[in-house]
């Protein structure tokens, strides 16, 4: 008489081959748990490959490395885009990760028909992937967002989202308006204002940002973010005021210091701008600050102060959405902003074995935190399997 054998567990499926997904897959492999990384692109780090040419990480090399393999010292302290992409490629090879490229997951469904239960991932080509657990790592900056400004569709100039910007060469000599003064908008404006760039650069600002030096006397601003991340917001706001005064007051140029404290703003999602040339460009009047965009009217862009300008190009550095609604919107796990209500090693009671990583933007650095999340998620999956 034969002894029944239990059905082997399906692999863990990690959706997204960026740093968060690769880190979780490596941590799972270290624990002897099979993980398959699926991504709609043809290789790892697709979103990083699409960033603008001059991009460098605003976090240090040390705190941008993933578990089990440091970024090489040759990449420098502030790692360039291409060096980071090469690092992700080597990371996947070093850990011998199982990558299913070109697989686009459209929906994640609970599968209670099998024993033990699990998940089914619906993907392109009619695929139905069985997973014992799922880790969603599709990224904080997933779906480009452009506000639905009145008259936008009738704008006679060129309108593009910042994700399509690569370098200033196509805009040489042109009148360009950059909308949005987060890190991306600030860096693109400074890039356009450089030699061989746009003929005129304006930066539309709705709410003035907190601006910090990337490092001061060798001390990176990220290190301060790591130290204060668990302190009360009001205390950190007061501590940050003397630091802000080390930088020039740009109020006369249209960028006054914010009234709301630095950490209060950061907790609401407005991470401080790391200065990589914006301050100098504004002070030299190579970048002119304007009020926020309210509407378009043919060739004109209407501003919040009632004036109108006629740029040839508008670059919308207006952020991204998480894009999780098609995947898991039916599961009731998203808040009003489309972000998961649980994160890291925690799971929701109605969706066990479904994990999220990389959907926060902490002041201590996103890559640092998702690198710390990876072994915790792997440990939680291992515990669930033992249970």
Domain boundary among 289, 319, 349: 319
**Distance from C-alpha of 306 to C-alpha of 62, rounded to nearest angstrom:** 47
Task: Check pLDDT > 70 for residue 100.
Answer: yes
User: Which of 171, 337, 181, 334 is closest to 256 using CA atoms?
Assistant: 181
User: Which of 139, 192, 141, 147 is closest to 165 using CA atoms?
Assistant: 192
Mean pLDDT of the chain: 93
- Around 66, how many Cα atoms within 13 Å sit in the side-chain half-sphere? 23
Q: Are residues 185 and 265 in the same domain?
A: yes
**Distance from C-alpha of 10 to C-alpha of 219, rounded to nearest angstrom:** 46
pLDDT digits (tens, 9 = 90+) for 14-56: 999 999 999 999 999 999 999 999 999 999 999 999 999 999 9
Task: Tell whether omega for the bond before 116 is within 30 degrees of 0, i.e. cis.
Answer: yes
* Element containing residue 21 per DSSP (H, E): helix 19-30
Torsion angle, alpha carbons of 124, 352, 332, 19, to 10: -60
Q: Does residue 48 fall inside a structural domain?
A: yes
**Token digits of residue 61:** 């090399």
Lowest mean pLDDT among 137-146, 149-158, 369-378: 137-146
Phi and psi angles of residue 355, each rounded to the nearest 5 degrees, phi first: -120, 155
Mean pLDDT of all residues in 292-308: 97
Domain boundary among 319, 354, 370: 319
Q: Does residue 101 fall inside a structural domain?
A: yes
Q: Are residues 261 and 333 in the same domain?
A: no
Q: Are residues 314 and 353 in the same domain?
A: no
**Distance from C-alpha of 343 to C-alpha of 339, rounded to nearest angstrom:** 9
First-to-final CA distance of the chain: 29
Q: Are residues 209 and 327 in the same domain?
A: no
Q: Does residue 4 fall inside a structural domain?
A: no
Contact indicator for 90, 97 with CB cutoff of 8 Å:
no
**Distance from C-alpha of 20 to C-alpha of 93, rounded to nearest angstrom:** 16
Q: Are residues 245 and 362 in the same domain?
A: no
The pLDDT value given to residue 2:
41
Give me the number of domains the chain comprises: 2
Contact indicator for 250, 256 with CB cutoff of 8 Å:
yes
Q: Are residues 228 and 328 in the same domain?
A: no
Q: Parallel, antiparallel, or unpaired for β 300-303 and 293-297?
A: antiparallel
Q: Are residues 35 and 107 in the same domain?
A: yes
Q: Does residue 36 fall inside a structural domain?
A: yes
pLDDT digits (tens, 9 = 90+) for 170-196: 999 999 999 999 999 999 999 999 988
Q: In terms of residue numbers, what domain contains 54? A: 12-142+322-386
CATH of the domain at 191: 3.50.50.60
Q: Are residues 163 and 71 in the same domain?
A: no
Q: Are residues 109 and 181 in the same domain?
A: no
Domain boundary among 281, 298, 319: 319
Task: Check pLDDT > 70 for residue 3.
Answer: no
Q: Are residues 135 and 157 in the same domain?
A: no
Q: Does residue 97 fall inside a structural domain?
A: yes
Query: Alpha carbon 231 to chain centroid distance?
Result: 24
Task: Check pLDDT > 50 for residue 1.
Answer: no
Indicate the pTM of the whole model: 0.91
Task: Check pLDDT > 50 for residue 58.
Answer: yes
Is residue 132 classed as helix, strand or coil in its secondary structure?
A: coil
Separate counts of helices (H) and strands (E) for the chain: 10, 22
Torsion over CA: 337, 342, 345, 351 (sign) = negative
Q: Are residues 187 and 313 in the same domain?
A: yes
Q: What is the 3-state secondary structure (H, E, C) of 106-118?
A: EEEEEECCCCCCE
Q: Are residues 308 and 196 in the same domain?
A: yes
Q: Does residue 1 fall inside a structural domain?
A: no
């Amino acid at each position: 008489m034969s002894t029944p054998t239990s059905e082997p567990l399906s692999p863990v499926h990690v959706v997204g081959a960026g740093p968060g997904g690769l880190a979780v897959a490596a941590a799972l492999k270290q624990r002897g748990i099979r993980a398959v990384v699926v991504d709609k692109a043809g290789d790892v780090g697709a979103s990083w490959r699409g960033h603008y040419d001059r991009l460098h990480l605003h976090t240090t090399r040390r705190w941008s490395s993933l578990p089990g393999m440091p970024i090489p010292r040759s990449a420098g302290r502030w790692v360039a885009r291409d060096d980071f992409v090469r690092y992700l490629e080597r990371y996947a090879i070093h850990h011998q990760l199982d990558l299913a490229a070109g697989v686009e997951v459209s929906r994640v469904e609970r599968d209670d028909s099998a024993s033990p239960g699990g998940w089914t991932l619906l993907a392109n080509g009619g695929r139905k992937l069985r997973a014992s657990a799922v880790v969603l790592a599709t990224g904080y900056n997933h779906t480009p967002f452009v506000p639905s400004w009145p008259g936008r569709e009738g704008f006679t100039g060129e309108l593009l989202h910042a994700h399509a910007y690569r370098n200033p060469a196509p805009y040489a000599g042109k009148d360009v308006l950059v909308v949005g003064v987060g890190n991306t908008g600030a860096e693109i404006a400074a890039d356009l204002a450089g030699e061989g760039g746009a003929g005129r650069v304006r930066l539309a600002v709705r709410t003035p940002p907190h601006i910090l030096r990337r490092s001061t006397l060798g001390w990176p601003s990220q290190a301060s973010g790591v130290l204060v991340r668990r302190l009360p917001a009001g205390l950190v706001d007061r501590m940050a005021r003397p630091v802000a005064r080390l930088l020039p007051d740009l109020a006369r140029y249209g960028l006054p210091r914010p009234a709301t404290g630095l950490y209060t703003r950061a907790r609401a999602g407005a991470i401080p701008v790391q200065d990589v040339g914006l301050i100098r460009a504004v002070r030299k009047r190579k970048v002119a600050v304007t009020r926020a965009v309210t509407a378009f009217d043919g060739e004109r862009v209407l501003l919040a102060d009632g004036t109108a300008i006629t740029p040839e190009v508008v670059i919308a550095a207006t952020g991204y959405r998480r894009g999780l609604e098609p995947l898991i919107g039916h599961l009731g796990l998203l808040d009003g902003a489309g972000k998961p209500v649980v994160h890291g090693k925690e799971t929701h009671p109605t969706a066990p074995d479904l994990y999220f990583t990389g959907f926060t933007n902490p002041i201590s650095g996103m890559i640092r935190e998702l690198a710390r999340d990876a072994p915790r998620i792997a440990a939680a999956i291992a515990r669930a399997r033992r249970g």
